[in-house]
Amino acid sequence: MDLLTIDHLSVWIGDRPILSNVTLNVVAGEIVGLLGPNGAGKSTTIAAALGLIPRRAGSVNVLGTDPDRARSSVYRDLGILPEQNGFYDWMSGDEYLAFFASLRGEEVTPAETASWLATVGLGPTKGQRIGTYSRGMRQRLGLARALIGDPQLLILDEPTNGLDPRGRHEVHELLRALAARGTGILMCTHLLDDVERLCRRVAVIAEGRTLVEGPIAELAGAAAHPDRYRLRLSAAPPNAGAVEGLRQVKSDGETWVVDLDPGAVADAVWRNLICAGWRVEEIRSEGRGLESLYLSLTDLPKRKAA
Amino acid sequence: MTPATLIARKEAGELLFSLRGLAWLLALCAALSVFTLLLIGSTELSLLDNAQVVYDMAGLITVMAALLAIIIGIDATAGERERGSLVPLLLVPTPRHNILLGKLGGILIAWAAMYLLSVPYVWAVGSTGQNLGEGLALVALLGTPVVVTFGFIGLALGCWVPSSRAGLMTGMIALAVSASPLLIGPSLRQSAIGRIFDTINPISGAVNAYDAVIIDSQAILAQWPGMAVTLIWLAAALMLAVAGFNRLSA
Protein backbone atom coordinates (compact mmCIF):
# COMPACT_ATOMS: atom_id res chain seq x y z
CA MET A 1 0.00 0.00 0.00
CA ASP A 2 1.44 3.37 -1.04
CA LEU A 3 1.53 5.76 1.90
CA LEU A 4 3.37 8.59 0.16
CA THR A 5 3.63 9.23 -3.55
CA ILE A 6 5.42 12.23 -4.97
CA ASP A 7 5.20 12.40 -8.73
CA HIS A 8 7.17 14.90 -10.86
CA LEU A 9 6.99 17.51 -8.12
CA SER A 10 8.05 20.99 -9.10
CA VAL A 11 8.41 23.95 -6.71
CA TRP A 12 9.39 27.50 -7.58
CA ILE A 13 10.20 30.25 -5.14
CA GLY A 14 9.68 33.53 -6.94
CA ASP A 15 11.02 32.99 -10.44
CA ARG A 16 13.61 30.42 -9.31
CA PRO A 17 13.02 26.68 -9.66
CA ILE A 18 13.87 24.89 -6.41
CA LEU A 19 12.50 21.47 -7.35
CA SER A 20 11.99 20.59 -10.96
CA ASN A 21 11.28 16.88 -11.14
CA VAL A 22 11.16 14.99 -7.88
CA THR A 23 9.59 11.56 -7.78
CA LEU A 24 9.53 9.04 -4.94
CA ASN A 25 7.18 6.79 -3.03
CA VAL A 26 6.96 5.06 0.33
CA VAL A 27 4.92 1.96 1.00
CA ALA A 28 3.74 0.51 4.30
CA GLY A 29 6.40 -1.24 6.34
CA GLU A 30 9.44 0.09 4.51
CA ILE A 31 12.06 2.71 5.31
CA VAL A 32 13.05 4.83 2.32
CA GLY A 33 16.16 7.00 2.42
CA LEU A 34 16.12 10.41 0.80
CA LEU A 35 19.69 11.41 0.03
CA GLY A 36 21.26 14.44 -1.55
CA PRO A 37 23.96 17.06 -1.02
CA ASN A 38 23.35 20.26 0.93
CA GLY A 39 20.87 22.45 -0.91
CA ALA A 40 19.69 19.59 -3.12
CA GLY A 41 16.07 20.18 -2.12
CA LYS A 42 15.46 17.39 0.39
CA SER A 43 13.79 19.54 3.03
CA THR A 44 11.91 21.48 0.35
CA THR A 45 10.61 18.17 -0.99
CA ILE A 46 9.33 17.27 2.46
CA ALA A 47 7.80 20.73 3.00
CA ALA A 48 6.05 20.60 -0.38
CA ALA A 49 4.84 17.07 0.28
CA LEU A 50 3.28 18.29 3.52
CA GLY A 51 1.59 21.24 1.85
CA LEU A 52 3.76 23.73 3.73
CA ILE A 53 4.95 25.39 0.55
CA PRO A 54 2.97 25.64 -2.68
CA ARG A 55 3.90 23.40 -5.58
CA ARG A 56 4.00 24.54 -9.18
CA ALA A 57 3.48 21.18 -10.86
CA GLY A 58 3.30 17.48 -10.10
CA SER A 59 1.19 15.59 -7.65
CA VAL A 60 1.53 14.56 -4.02
CA ASN A 61 -0.53 11.89 -2.35
CA VAL A 62 -0.15 11.34 1.37
CA LEU A 63 -2.18 8.49 2.86
CA GLY A 64 -4.56 8.64 -0.09
CA THR A 65 -5.14 12.39 0.12
CA ASP A 66 -3.68 15.50 -1.46
CA PRO A 67 -2.38 17.53 1.52
CA ASP A 68 -3.22 20.78 -0.27
CA ARG A 69 -6.89 19.81 -0.18
CA ALA A 70 -7.23 18.31 3.30
CA ARG A 71 -4.21 19.30 5.33
CA SER A 72 -5.70 18.59 8.76
CA SER A 73 -6.90 15.09 7.97
CA VAL A 74 -3.53 14.18 6.41
CA TYR A 75 -1.61 15.39 9.45
CA ARG A 76 -3.75 13.20 11.75
CA ASP A 77 -2.07 9.94 10.61
CA LEU A 78 1.33 11.43 9.97
CA GLY A 79 4.31 11.78 12.28
CA ILE A 80 6.84 14.40 11.30
CA LEU A 81 10.27 15.39 12.50
CA PRO A 82 10.94 18.57 10.53
CA GLU A 83 14.31 20.13 9.81
CA GLN A 84 13.37 23.16 11.90
CA ASN A 85 12.66 21.50 15.19
CA GLY A 86 12.27 24.13 17.91
CA PHE A 87 10.79 23.55 21.35
CA TYR A 88 9.24 25.49 24.21
CA ASP A 89 12.14 25.65 26.62
CA TRP A 90 10.00 26.52 29.63
CA MET A 91 7.99 23.28 29.34
CA SER A 92 9.12 19.87 30.57
CA GLY A 93 9.41 17.02 28.07
CA ASP A 94 6.23 15.34 29.31
CA GLU A 95 4.28 18.63 29.28
CA TYR A 96 5.46 19.21 25.72
CA LEU A 97 4.30 15.80 24.53
CA ALA A 98 0.99 16.15 26.39
CA PHE A 99 0.48 19.55 24.70
CA PHE A 100 0.95 18.14 21.20
CA ALA A 101 -1.12 15.05 21.98
CA SER A 102 -3.96 17.27 23.20
CA LEU A 103 -3.71 19.36 20.02
CA ARG A 104 -4.29 16.13 18.11
CA GLY A 105 -7.40 15.57 20.20
CA GLU A 106 -5.93 12.76 22.28
CA GLU A 107 -6.52 12.53 26.01
CA VAL A 108 -3.22 11.51 27.53
CA THR A 109 -2.30 10.30 30.97
CA PRO A 110 1.04 10.99 32.68
CA ALA A 111 1.81 7.27 32.24
CA GLU A 112 1.44 7.60 28.46
CA THR A 113 3.74 10.62 28.19
CA ALA A 114 6.24 8.81 30.41
CA SER A 115 6.05 5.82 28.09
CA TRP A 116 6.69 8.00 25.00
CA LEU A 117 9.71 9.56 26.72
CA ALA A 118 10.98 6.10 27.65
CA THR A 119 10.55 4.90 24.05
CA VAL A 120 13.08 7.46 22.85
CA GLY A 121 15.39 7.04 25.81
CA LEU A 122 14.29 10.12 27.75
CA GLY A 123 12.60 8.24 30.59
CA PRO A 124 14.83 9.59 33.38
CA THR A 125 14.24 13.21 32.30
CA LYS A 126 10.54 13.33 33.25
CA GLY A 127 9.78 16.76 34.68
CA GLN A 128 13.06 18.28 33.47
CA ARG A 129 12.71 21.55 31.56
CA ILE A 130 13.48 21.35 27.84
CA GLY A 131 15.71 24.40 28.21
CA THR A 132 18.20 22.18 30.02
CA TYR A 133 18.17 19.44 27.33
CA SER A 134 21.22 18.72 25.19
CA ARG A 135 20.97 18.73 21.39
CA GLY A 136 20.65 14.96 21.29
CA MET A 137 17.90 14.99 23.92
CA ARG A 138 15.99 17.57 21.89
CA GLN A 139 16.31 15.36 18.83
CA ARG A 140 14.89 12.42 20.79
CA LEU A 141 12.03 14.58 22.07
CA GLY A 142 11.22 15.64 18.49
CA LEU A 143 11.13 11.99 17.54
CA ALA A 144 8.80 11.25 20.47
CA ARG A 145 6.50 14.04 19.25
CA ALA A 146 6.46 12.47 15.79
CA LEU A 147 5.39 9.15 17.31
CA ILE A 148 2.32 10.57 19.07
CA GLY A 149 -0.85 8.92 17.81
CA ASP A 150 0.97 5.87 16.36
CA PRO A 151 1.09 7.33 12.83
CA GLN A 152 0.94 5.20 9.67
CA LEU A 153 3.62 7.30 7.97
CA LEU A 154 6.69 8.93 9.50
CA ILE A 155 8.61 11.67 7.70
CA LEU A 156 11.91 12.26 9.45
CA ASP A 157 14.39 14.95 8.49
CA GLU A 158 17.85 13.99 9.82
CA PRO A 159 16.49 11.81 12.67
CA THR A 160 19.91 10.88 14.07
CA ASN A 161 21.35 14.40 14.00
CA GLY A 162 23.17 15.20 17.21
CA LEU A 163 22.85 11.71 18.66
CA ASP A 164 25.74 9.80 20.19
CA PRO A 165 26.52 6.29 18.85
CA ARG A 166 24.28 4.61 21.42
CA GLY A 167 21.48 7.08 20.65
CA ARG A 168 21.84 6.37 16.94
CA HIS A 169 21.71 2.66 17.57
CA GLU A 170 18.57 3.04 19.71
CA VAL A 171 16.88 5.15 17.06
CA HIS A 172 17.80 2.59 14.41
CA GLU A 173 16.24 -0.16 16.52
CA LEU A 174 13.13 1.94 17.08
CA LEU A 175 12.69 2.68 13.37
CA ARG A 176 13.20 -0.97 12.48
CA ALA A 177 10.57 -1.99 15.02
CA LEU A 178 8.12 0.61 13.66
CA ALA A 179 8.67 -0.55 10.09
CA ALA A 180 8.15 -4.15 11.18
CA ARG A 181 4.76 -3.08 12.55
CA GLY A 182 3.81 -1.66 9.15
CA THR A 183 4.75 2.00 9.54
CA GLY A 184 6.12 3.58 6.37
CA ILE A 185 9.14 5.82 7.00
CA LEU A 186 10.75 8.43 4.77
CA MET A 187 14.13 9.32 6.20
CA CYS A 188 15.98 12.31 4.89
CA THR A 189 19.64 12.17 5.90
CA HIS A 190 23.25 12.87 4.99
CA LEU A 191 24.44 9.74 6.74
CA LEU A 192 24.94 6.94 4.21
CA ASP A 193 25.63 4.57 7.07
CA ASP A 194 22.12 5.16 8.46
CA VAL A 195 20.62 4.52 5.04
CA GLU A 196 22.64 1.34 4.50
CA ARG A 197 21.65 0.00 7.89
CA LEU A 198 17.95 0.84 7.71
CA CYS A 199 16.66 1.34 4.21
CA ARG A 200 15.74 -1.09 1.48
CA ARG A 201 15.08 1.66 -1.05
CA VAL A 202 16.65 5.04 -1.61
CA ALA A 203 16.06 8.17 -3.67
CA VAL A 204 18.96 10.47 -4.48
CA ILE A 205 18.14 14.06 -5.41
CA ALA A 206 20.44 16.85 -6.51
CA GLU A 207 19.70 20.30 -7.88
CA GLY A 208 15.99 19.72 -7.30
CA ARG A 209 15.69 16.54 -9.38
CA THR A 210 15.44 12.87 -8.52
CA LEU A 211 18.55 11.31 -9.98
CA VAL A 212 17.77 7.71 -9.04
CA GLU A 213 15.14 5.91 -7.04
CA GLY A 214 14.96 2.22 -6.30
CA PRO A 215 16.23 -0.67 -4.19
CA ILE A 216 19.68 0.00 -2.74
CA ALA A 217 20.91 -3.46 -3.69
CA GLU A 218 20.18 -2.85 -7.39
CA LEU A 219 21.38 0.75 -7.54
CA ALA A 220 24.51 0.23 -5.47
CA GLY A 221 25.37 -3.01 -7.22
CA ALA A 222 25.50 -1.19 -10.52
CA ALA A 223 27.79 1.45 -9.10
CA ALA A 224 30.04 -0.81 -7.05
CA HIS A 225 33.82 -0.79 -7.51
CA PRO A 226 34.96 -3.56 -5.20
CA ASP A 227 38.59 -3.15 -6.23
CA ARG A 228 38.81 0.65 -5.86
CA TYR A 229 40.70 2.28 -2.99
CA ARG A 230 41.57 5.85 -2.06
CA LEU A 231 45.10 6.43 -0.74
CA ARG A 232 46.53 9.39 1.13
CA LEU A 233 50.29 9.73 0.55
CA SER A 234 52.84 11.97 2.21
CA ALA A 235 54.72 12.36 -1.11
CA ALA A 236 54.01 11.73 -4.79
CA PRO A 237 54.43 8.03 -5.74
CA PRO A 238 57.81 7.32 -7.33
CA ASN A 239 56.61 4.80 -9.92
CA ALA A 240 52.83 4.88 -10.23
CA GLY A 241 52.62 2.69 -13.29
CA ALA A 242 55.02 -0.05 -12.33
CA VAL A 243 53.63 -1.76 -9.24
CA GLU A 244 52.41 -5.29 -9.48
CA GLY A 245 48.66 -5.64 -8.83
CA LEU A 246 47.73 -2.06 -9.77
CA ARG A 247 45.52 -1.57 -12.80
CA GLN A 248 44.91 2.17 -12.69
CA VAL A 249 46.23 5.07 -10.62
CA LYS A 250 44.99 8.62 -10.75
CA SER A 251 45.26 11.63 -8.49
CA ASP A 252 42.38 13.94 -7.59
CA GLY A 253 44.71 16.49 -6.02
CA GLU A 254 44.76 15.50 -2.35
CA THR A 255 44.38 11.76 -2.64
CA TRP A 256 45.13 8.99 -5.11
CA VAL A 257 42.48 6.63 -6.45
CA VAL A 258 43.80 3.19 -7.33
CA ASP A 259 42.07 0.23 -8.96
CA LEU A 260 43.52 -3.19 -8.23
CA ASP A 261 43.90 -5.82 -10.90
CA PRO A 262 40.98 -8.26 -10.85
CA GLY A 263 41.91 -11.06 -8.49
CA ALA A 264 44.76 -9.15 -6.84
CA VAL A 265 45.06 -9.59 -3.07
CA ALA A 266 44.91 -6.14 -1.50
CA ASP A 267 47.39 -6.91 1.33
CA ALA A 268 49.97 -8.08 -1.18
CA VAL A 269 49.51 -4.97 -3.31
CA TRP A 270 49.97 -2.67 -0.29
CA ARG A 271 53.20 -4.55 0.55
CA ASN A 272 54.37 -4.07 -3.03
CA LEU A 273 53.57 -0.36 -2.87
CA ILE A 274 55.55 0.18 0.32
CA CYS A 275 58.48 -1.81 -1.03
CA ALA A 276 58.35 0.36 -4.15
CA GLY A 277 58.78 3.48 -2.03
CA TRP A 278 55.18 4.70 -1.76
CA ARG A 279 54.75 6.68 1.46
CA VAL A 280 51.23 5.58 2.38
CA GLU A 281 49.46 7.38 5.25
CA GLU A 282 45.92 6.10 4.82
CA ILE A 283 44.05 3.51 2.75
CA ARG A 284 40.26 3.65 2.38
CA SER A 285 38.03 1.31 0.41
CA GLU A 286 35.92 3.02 -2.23
CA GLY A 287 34.17 -0.16 -3.08
CA ARG A 288 31.05 0.40 -0.96
CA GLY A 289 28.24 0.52 -3.47
CA LEU A 290 25.99 3.17 -1.95
CA GLU A 291 28.85 5.54 -1.26
CA SER A 292 30.19 5.10 -4.79
CA LEU A 293 26.73 5.61 -6.20
CA TYR A 294 26.16 8.71 -4.10
CA LEU A 295 29.55 10.23 -4.88
CA SER A 296 29.24 9.61 -8.59
CA LEU A 297 25.66 10.91 -8.77
CA THR A 298 26.33 14.04 -6.77
CA ASP A 299 29.59 14.95 -8.49
CA LEU A 300 27.67 17.65 -10.32
CA PRO A 301 30.52 19.36 -12.23
CA LYS A 302 31.54 15.98 -13.65
CA ARG A 303 27.95 15.10 -14.53
CA LYS A 304 27.48 18.43 -16.29
CA ALA A 305 30.71 17.99 -18.23
CA ALA A 306 29.54 14.54 -19.27
CA MET B 1 -10.16 21.62 25.56
CA THR B 2 -10.18 23.04 22.02
CA PRO B 3 -6.93 23.48 20.05
CA ALA B 4 -7.35 27.27 20.20
CA THR B 5 -7.67 27.16 24.01
CA LEU B 6 -4.64 24.88 24.29
CA ILE B 7 -2.53 27.21 22.14
CA ALA B 8 -3.77 30.25 24.11
CA ARG B 9 -2.73 28.51 27.32
CA LYS B 10 0.66 27.73 25.82
CA GLU B 11 1.09 31.35 24.73
CA ALA B 12 0.15 32.55 28.22
CA GLY B 13 2.59 30.09 29.72
CA GLU B 14 5.29 31.45 27.45
CA LEU B 15 4.50 34.94 28.76
CA LEU B 16 4.44 34.00 32.41
CA PHE B 17 7.14 31.33 32.58
CA SER B 18 9.73 32.52 30.08
CA LEU B 19 12.23 35.27 30.80
CA ARG B 20 11.25 37.08 27.60
CA GLY B 21 7.58 37.38 28.58
CA LEU B 22 8.31 38.38 32.16
CA ALA B 23 10.77 41.01 30.94
CA TRP B 24 8.00 42.71 28.96
CA LEU B 25 5.65 42.78 31.95
CA LEU B 26 8.46 44.14 34.15
CA ALA B 27 9.19 46.83 31.55
CA LEU B 28 5.51 47.76 31.58
CA CYS B 29 5.50 48.05 35.39
CA ALA B 30 8.65 50.17 35.25
CA ALA B 31 7.10 52.54 32.71
CA LEU B 32 3.87 52.85 34.70
CA SER B 33 5.88 53.44 37.89
CA VAL B 34 7.89 56.24 36.30
CA PHE B 35 4.76 57.88 34.86
CA THR B 36 2.93 57.57 38.19
CA LEU B 37 5.85 59.04 40.12
CA LEU B 38 5.96 61.94 37.68
CA LEU B 39 2.25 62.59 38.10
CA ILE B 40 2.51 62.50 41.88
CA GLY B 41 5.99 63.84 42.45
CA SER B 42 6.33 66.62 39.87
CA THR B 43 5.20 69.93 41.31
CA GLU B 44 3.52 71.06 38.09
CA LEU B 45 2.02 67.69 37.09
CA SER B 46 0.65 67.13 40.60
CA LEU B 47 -1.55 70.19 40.07
CA LEU B 48 -3.40 68.47 37.21
CA ASP B 49 -7.05 67.71 37.72
CA ASN B 50 -7.58 64.09 38.82
CA ALA B 51 -9.82 63.36 35.83
CA GLN B 52 -7.06 64.62 33.53
CA VAL B 53 -4.59 62.32 35.30
CA VAL B 54 -6.89 59.30 34.85
CA TYR B 55 -7.32 60.25 31.18
CA ASP B 56 -3.54 60.45 30.71
CA MET B 57 -3.06 57.09 32.39
CA ALA B 58 -5.83 55.51 30.29
CA GLY B 59 -4.15 56.71 27.08
CA LEU B 60 -0.76 55.50 28.24
CA ILE B 61 -2.10 52.06 29.21
CA THR B 62 -3.85 51.70 25.85
CA VAL B 63 -0.78 52.63 23.82
CA MET B 64 1.49 50.43 25.92
CA ALA B 65 -0.94 47.53 25.59
CA ALA B 66 -1.02 48.06 21.82
CA LEU B 67 2.79 48.02 21.87
CA LEU B 68 2.83 44.78 23.88
CA ALA B 69 0.20 43.24 21.59
CA ILE B 70 2.17 44.03 18.44
CA ILE B 71 5.39 42.65 19.97
CA ILE B 72 3.70 39.47 21.24
CA GLY B 73 1.95 39.05 17.88
CA ILE B 74 5.20 39.29 15.91
CA ASP B 75 6.98 37.02 18.37
CA ALA B 76 4.16 34.46 18.15
CA THR B 77 4.66 34.10 14.40
CA ALA B 78 8.00 35.40 13.10
CA GLY B 79 9.72 34.77 16.45
CA GLU B 80 8.45 31.19 16.65
CA ARG B 81 9.45 30.63 13.02
CA GLU B 82 13.00 31.78 13.83
CA ARG B 83 13.15 29.55 16.91
CA GLY B 84 11.96 26.61 14.78
CA SER B 85 8.89 25.93 16.92
CA LEU B 86 6.30 27.19 14.43
CA VAL B 87 6.58 24.32 11.93
CA PRO B 88 5.65 21.58 14.46
CA LEU B 89 2.60 23.70 15.37
CA LEU B 90 1.60 24.14 11.71
CA LEU B 91 1.78 20.34 11.31
CA VAL B 92 -0.85 19.75 13.97
CA PRO B 93 -4.12 18.36 12.54
CA THR B 94 -6.17 21.48 13.17
CA PRO B 95 -7.23 24.28 10.81
CA ARG B 96 -4.96 27.30 10.69
CA HIS B 97 -7.67 29.59 12.06
CA ASN B 98 -7.54 27.64 15.33
CA ILE B 99 -3.85 28.43 15.61
CA LEU B 100 -4.59 32.09 14.89
CA LEU B 101 -7.34 32.13 17.53
CA GLY B 102 -5.01 30.52 20.04
CA LYS B 103 -2.31 33.09 19.36
CA LEU B 104 -4.90 35.85 19.79
CA GLY B 105 -5.96 34.22 23.06
CA GLY B 106 -2.38 34.54 24.27
CA ILE B 107 -2.41 38.25 23.42
CA LEU B 108 -5.71 38.73 25.28
CA ILE B 109 -4.32 36.96 28.36
CA ALA B 110 -1.28 39.27 28.20
CA TRP B 111 -3.66 42.25 27.94
CA ALA B 112 -5.64 41.00 30.95
CA ALA B 113 -2.41 40.66 32.96
CA MET B 114 -1.34 44.12 31.87
CA TYR B 115 -4.72 45.63 32.72
CA LEU B 116 -4.70 44.09 36.19
CA LEU B 117 -1.15 45.32 36.76
CA SER B 118 -2.09 48.86 35.75
CA VAL B 119 -5.21 49.16 37.97
CA PRO B 120 -3.24 49.95 41.17
CA TYR B 121 -1.31 52.66 39.33
CA VAL B 122 -4.50 54.32 38.05
CA TRP B 123 -6.05 54.02 41.49
CA ALA B 124 -2.93 55.56 43.07
CA VAL B 125 -3.08 58.69 40.92
CA GLY B 126 -6.82 59.09 40.43
CA SER B 127 -8.64 57.64 43.43
CA THR B 128 -9.66 61.01 44.81
CA GLY B 129 -11.04 62.40 41.57
CA GLN B 130 -14.10 61.91 39.39
CA ASN B 131 -14.92 59.09 36.96
CA LEU B 132 -12.20 56.64 38.07
CA GLY B 133 -14.57 53.67 37.74
CA GLU B 134 -15.85 54.84 34.36
CA GLY B 135 -12.26 55.38 33.22
CA LEU B 136 -11.22 51.87 34.17
CA ALA B 137 -14.34 50.38 32.56
CA LEU B 138 -13.69 52.35 29.39
CA VAL B 139 -10.08 51.20 29.20
CA ALA B 140 -11.35 47.61 29.39
CA LEU B 141 -14.15 48.25 26.88
CA LEU B 142 -12.27 50.30 24.28
CA GLY B 143 -8.75 49.17 25.04
CA THR B 144 -9.62 45.56 24.20
CA PRO B 145 -10.52 46.16 20.52
CA VAL B 146 -7.43 48.37 20.17
CA VAL B 147 -5.24 45.63 21.67
CA VAL B 148 -6.88 42.96 19.49
CA THR B 149 -6.40 45.15 16.40
CA PHE B 150 -2.70 45.60 17.08
CA GLY B 151 -2.38 41.96 18.08
CA PHE B 152 -3.76 40.96 14.68
CA ILE B 153 -1.44 43.47 12.99
CA GLY B 154 1.51 41.92 14.86
CA LEU B 155 0.45 38.37 13.94
CA ALA B 156 -0.04 39.38 10.30
CA LEU B 157 3.30 41.20 10.14
CA GLY B 158 5.00 38.15 11.59
CA CYS B 159 3.56 36.07 8.73
CA TRP B 160 4.42 38.47 5.93
CA VAL B 161 7.86 39.79 6.87
CA PRO B 162 11.02 37.66 6.58
CA SER B 163 12.26 38.19 10.16
CA SER B 164 10.97 39.25 13.55
CA ARG B 165 13.38 42.18 13.51
CA ALA B 166 11.87 43.50 10.28
CA GLY B 167 8.41 42.87 11.73
CA LEU B 168 9.23 44.80 14.90
CA MET B 169 10.56 47.75 12.89
CA THR B 170 7.44 47.87 10.74
CA GLY B 171 5.19 47.38 13.76
CA MET B 172 6.86 50.17 15.71
CA ILE B 173 6.41 52.56 12.79
CA ALA B 174 2.73 51.58 12.43
CA LEU B 175 2.21 52.06 16.16
CA ALA B 176 4.06 55.40 16.25
CA VAL B 177 1.86 56.69 13.42
CA SER B 178 -1.29 55.40 15.12
CA ALA B 179 -0.36 56.81 18.52
CA SER B 180 0.65 60.18 17.15
CA PRO B 181 -2.69 61.87 18.09
CA LEU B 182 -1.55 61.43 21.68
CA LEU B 183 1.78 63.04 20.87
CA ILE B 184 0.81 65.97 18.65
CA GLY B 185 -0.52 69.14 20.20
CA PRO B 186 -4.21 70.11 20.34
CA SER B 187 -3.76 72.90 17.76
CA LEU B 188 -2.34 70.49 15.20
CA ARG B 189 -5.19 68.08 15.87
CA GLN B 190 -7.66 70.87 15.07
CA SER B 191 -6.20 71.43 11.59
CA ALA B 192 -7.94 69.81 8.59
CA ILE B 193 -5.32 67.10 8.19
CA GLY B 194 -5.19 66.56 11.94
CA ARG B 195 -8.98 66.11 12.08
CA ILE B 196 -8.99 63.59 9.21
CA PHE B 197 -6.12 61.68 10.79
CA ASP B 198 -7.90 61.78 14.14
CA THR B 199 -11.10 60.41 12.59
CA ILE B 200 -9.60 57.43 10.79
CA ASN B 201 -7.04 56.50 13.44
CA PRO B 202 -7.68 53.31 15.48
CA ILE B 203 -6.21 54.69 18.69
CA SER B 204 -7.91 58.10 18.38
CA GLY B 205 -11.33 56.48 18.65
CA ALA B 206 -10.43 55.14 22.08
CA VAL B 207 -8.51 58.21 23.27
CA ASN B 208 -11.26 60.67 22.24
CA ALA B 209 -13.80 58.49 24.03
CA TYR B 210 -11.63 58.57 27.18
CA ASP B 211 -11.60 62.36 26.92
CA ALA B 212 -15.37 62.55 26.53
CA VAL B 213 -16.22 60.12 29.33
CA ILE B 214 -13.49 60.77 31.91
CA ILE B 215 -13.08 64.53 31.56
CA ASP B 216 -16.42 65.65 30.08
CA SER B 217 -18.51 63.02 31.93
CA GLN B 218 -20.40 61.95 28.80
CA ALA B 219 -22.14 58.57 28.58
CA ILE B 220 -20.01 55.62 27.50
CA LEU B 221 -22.59 54.45 24.94
CA ALA B 222 -22.49 57.85 23.23
CA GLN B 223 -18.95 57.04 22.11
CA TRP B 224 -20.02 54.53 19.43
CA PRO B 225 -18.58 56.48 16.44
CA GLY B 226 -15.07 56.20 17.88
CA MET B 227 -15.67 52.54 18.67
CA ALA B 228 -16.91 51.97 15.12
CA VAL B 229 -13.63 53.27 13.66
CA THR B 230 -11.65 50.97 15.93
CA LEU B 231 -13.87 48.02 14.99
CA ILE B 232 -13.36 48.72 11.27
CA TRP B 233 -9.59 48.62 11.85
CA LEU B 234 -10.05 45.43 13.84
CA ALA B 235 -11.89 43.78 10.93
CA ALA B 236 -9.19 44.88 8.47
CA ALA B 237 -6.41 43.61 10.74
CA LEU B 238 -8.26 40.30 11.19
CA MET B 239 -8.46 39.82 7.41
CA LEU B 240 -4.76 40.58 7.10
CA ALA B 241 -3.93 38.07 9.84
CA VAL B 242 -6.14 35.34 8.32
CA ALA B 243 -4.50 35.88 4.91
CA GLY B 244 -1.06 35.81 6.56
CA PHE B 245 -1.79 32.56 8.42
CA ASN B 246 -3.09 30.89 5.29
CA ARG B 247 0.17 31.64 3.49
CA LEU B 248 2.42 30.71 6.43
CA SER B 249 4.99 28.29 5.16
CA ALA B 250 7.99 26.36 6.37
Q: Do B14 and A88 touch (CB under 8 A)?
A: yes
B53 has a pLDDT exceeding 80: yes
- Predicted local confidence at residue A258, as pLDDT: 85
B101 touches chain A (CB under 8 A): no
Closest residue to B88, CB basis, from A47, A82, A89: A82
Query: In total, how many domains does chain B have?
Result: 1
Query: pLDDT averaged over chain B?
Result: 86
ipTM: 0.84
pLDDT the model gives residue A304: 59
Contact A73 B85 (CB under 8 A): no
Region for residue B124 given its phi and psi (left: phi exceeds 0; alpha: psi -120 to 50; beta: otherwise): alpha
Q: Using one digit for the tens of pLDDT, what is the confidence trace for B80-120?
A: 999 999 999 999 998 899 999 999 999 999 999 999 999 99
Closest chain A residue by Cα to residue B87: A84
Q: Is B6 on the interface with A (CB under 8 A)?
A: yes
Mutate one of B7, B81, B89, B91 to test the A interface: name it (highest A CB count within 10 A): B91
**Residues 6+ positions from A260 with CB-CB distance below 8 Å:** A227, A228, A229, A245, A246, A247, A266, A269
- Number of inter-chain CB pairs under 8 A, A vs B: 74
Which residues in chain A land under pLDDT 50? Answer: none
Mean pLDDT within B126-153:
87
Which of A285-289, B224-228, B240-244 bottoms out in mean pLDDT, i.e. has the lowest? A285-289
Angstroms from A111 CA to nearest CA on chain B: 20
- Give me the domain span that covers residue B101: 3-247
CB atoms within 10 A of CB B126: 25
- Residue among A54, A76, A84 minimizing CB distance to B93: A76
Chain B interface disruption, residue of A53, A55, A69, A84, most B CBs within 10 A: A84
Read off the pLDDT of residues B150-172 as tens digits, 9 standing for 90 and up. Answer: 999 999 999 988 888 999 999 99
How confident is the model at residue B198, as a pLDDT?
78
Give one word for A207, left, alpha or beta, with left for phi > 0 and alpha for psi -120 to 50.
Answer: left
Q: What does the pLDDT read at residue A14?
A: 82
Instruction: State percent of chain A over pLDDT 70.
Output: 94
Put simply, the answer to whether B85 touches A100 (Cβ < 8 Å) is: no
What is the H or E stretch that residue A187 is in?
strand A184-188
Whether pLDDT at B250 is above 60: no
Cα separations in angstroms, A69 against A73, A151, B96:
9, 20, 13
Count of beta carbons in the 10 Å neighbourhood of residue A110? 10
